[in-house]
Amino acid sequence: MLIKSEKININNSFFGSLPGEFYLADTLEIMPELIEKHAGKVKLVYFDPPFMTGREFDANMPVGEKGFAGNRQYFAKIPSYSDQWESREAYLEFLGKVLEGTKELLTDDGVVCVHVDRHASAYVRILLDKVFGENCFINEIIWHYHSGGSSKHSFPAKHDNIYIYGKKSNVKINPAAAGKARTDKKQNHMKKNVDVDGRVYFSIKSNGKEYKYYEDDIVSFDDVWDIPHLQQKHPERTGFGTQKPLELLDRIIKSCSREGDIVCDLFAGSGTTLISAFNNNRRFIGVDKAALSLLTFRRRLTAKSTFDVEIFHTSKPNDMAGISIQKAESENHVTISFEAYRALDVESTLPKYSDGLQYLNYVSVGRIEGETFITEAYSVRTPGKPALKCDFTVEKGGKKAVYFCDCLGNHRFVEI
């Protein structure tokens, strides 16, 4: 059964039409399709690509109800992505092609933000100058954080680099949109006052002139951002080792785009960019070739009370798992139940459960229209709701099917 996309709509009221797209695809392979559909429409492209570290990365993911309830014995390390390259030249050639496609996606006043670290930062800056032009450079943001690890023979590496470029040389961003109100703490030798309207301000006189700084004025951040790294037990944590904090993406998205704009992440990973865009009333486009990325993003998005998203599958989901499903019909409804599941390599890679359904993380029931799966009911495991609902009653009508994804990223559509 060939399904190219699935649509999920949960009472969205802000946009009124599909605001979100996720492509389960290789970035370069899907780029021509993205350009055909969205050329000149994307206000902000942020991406956090592989850093040329030479490493293989795992995600430490909860498994089943016990795992999502917080029992660390029911977590498993699951491969998430590879950052190994034949050479530096191969890496930069790949990234150059991504940047060329990015430039075509952007609006004339669009912005690209590329997030890297010490492994590739110098080379990526030169590459950005080549693709976008030195005169299109806007900022280099230093994200400074504290995390474990130290070195006896060098200063510990505790920052990443985020390069911001406009599509054209006259592009401006709005740092104040991501700023914060001035605190009520006294500044230097300034005097604290209250004006006739009751607003608190601080004042200082210099060369016979009084300077006033109001407490509720918005103060922009400078280009060094001290934002904590996500610790292991942070509530935002999804299990992705390279997950970025929402606070970081909120600053970027607020300062580089406006409400209703399209924000795109070409290496979506845990989905933080997309969730931040959604939270800040932006449309979003996400791309990642790992099914684990889609599963993690889906879990974060479906925790929202309203959303509207279309997910595109560029290849047939794998068929490496077995599912047992029961169907019962009444006059107007059909009840579909997930009875049993056999996951791939359960015995060797995952915590042990006697109930194979514990290895499922997402299940849904819907109908097929052409090559699209329309979701009618779903359930997803989250830390707040670790149990997975496996019985669904939906209205009759259409060609019924189910979709499911397990904790390893195995996923499959099955026609009923």
Say if residue 203's pLDDT is above 90: no
Helix (H, G, I), strand (E, B) or coil at 61: strand
Residues 389 and 284 in one domain: no
Asked if residue 370 lies in contact with residue 401, where contact means CB atoms within 8 angstroms, the answer is no
Per the domain annotation, does 92 fall within a domain? yes
Range scoring the smallest mean pLDDT among 114-128, 183-197, 204-218, 368-382: 183-197
In tens, the pLDDT along 140-156 reads 999 998 876 677 888 88
Considering only CA atoms, which of 91, 95, 5, 22 is closest in space to residue 293?
Answer: 22
Which residues have CB under 8 Å from 339's CB, separation 6+? 324, 325, 326, 390
Per the domain annotation, does 235 fall within a domain? yes
In tens, the pLDDT along 212-246 reads 777 766 777 888 999 988 887 788 888 777 789 99
Extract the runs of DSSP E, i.e. beta strands, from 197-332: 200-206, 209-214, 218-219, 224-226, 262-265, 283-288, 307-313, 322-329
In tens, the pLDDT along 344-366 reads 655 557 888 889 999 999 999 99
Structure tokens at 73: 């014995």
Q: Residue 29 CA to chain centroid, in angstroms?
A: 20
Per the domain annotation, does 316 fall within a domain? no
Per-residue pLDDT, 239: 78
Per-residue pLDDT, 348: 58
Q: Report the percent of the chain where pLDDT is more than 70.
A: 88
Structure tokens at 104: 């075509």
Residues 411 and 284 in one domain: no
Per the domain annotation, does 380 fall within a domain? yes
Question: pTM, whole model, 2 decimals?
Answer: 0.87
In angstroms, what CA-CA distances link 144 with 47, 147, 226, 383?
18, 10, 5, 29
* CA–CA separation, 69 and 381 (whole Å): 10
Query: Any idea what the Cα angle at residue 288 is, between residues 12 and 17, rounded to 5°?
Result: 20
- Find the mean pLDDT for residues 167-191: 79
50 vs 285, higher pLDDT:
285
Range scoring the smallest mean pLDDT among 38-47, 239-248, 380-389: 239-248
Residues 342 and 242 in one domain: no
* CA–CA separation, 203 and 342 (whole Å): 70
- Find the mean pLDDT for residues 196-224: 75
Does an H or E element contain 380, and which? strand 372-380
Per-residue pLDDT, 187: 60
Asked if residue 312 lies in contact with residue 401, where contact means CB atoms within 8 angstroms, the answer is no
Residues 167 and 232 in one domain: yes
| End-to-end CA separation in angstroms for the chain | 11
- To the nearest 10 degrees (0 to 180), the angle between helices 272-279 and 246-256 is 60
Q: Report the percent of the chain where pLDDT is more than 90.
A: 52
According to DSSP, residue 314 is labeled S
Per the domain annotation, does 306 fall within a domain? no
56 vs 391, higher pLDDT:
391
Residues 212 and 235 in one domain: no
Per-residue pLDDT, 10: 80
Structure tokens at 360: 């499922």
In tens, the pLDDT along 289-342 reads 888 889 899 889 888 878 889 999 986 666 656 889 999 999 899 999 999 998
Asked if residue 401 lies in contact with residue 78, where contact means CB atoms within 8 angstroms, the answer is no
Say if residue 188's pLDDT is above 70: no
Per the domain annotation, does 79 fall within a domain? no
In tens, the pLDDT along 86-105 reads 788 888 999 999 999 999 99
With cut-offs at 50, 70 and 90, classify the pLDDT of residue 137. very high
Say if residue 397's pLDDT is above 80: yes
According to DSSP, residue 190 is labeled P
Query: Any idea what the Cα angle at residue 384 is, between residues 379 and 390, rounded to 5°?
Result: 25
Residues 353 and 387 in one domain: yes
What is the count of structural domains for the chain? 3
Mean pLDDT, the chain, rounded, equals 86
* CA–CA separation, 283 and 274 (whole Å): 8
Per the domain annotation, does 68 fall within a domain? no
Asked if residue 400 lies in contact with residue 366, where contact means CB atoms within 8 angstroms, the answer is yes
Instruction: Name the residue range of residue 335's domain.
Output: 322-415
Residues 255 and 130 in one domain: yes
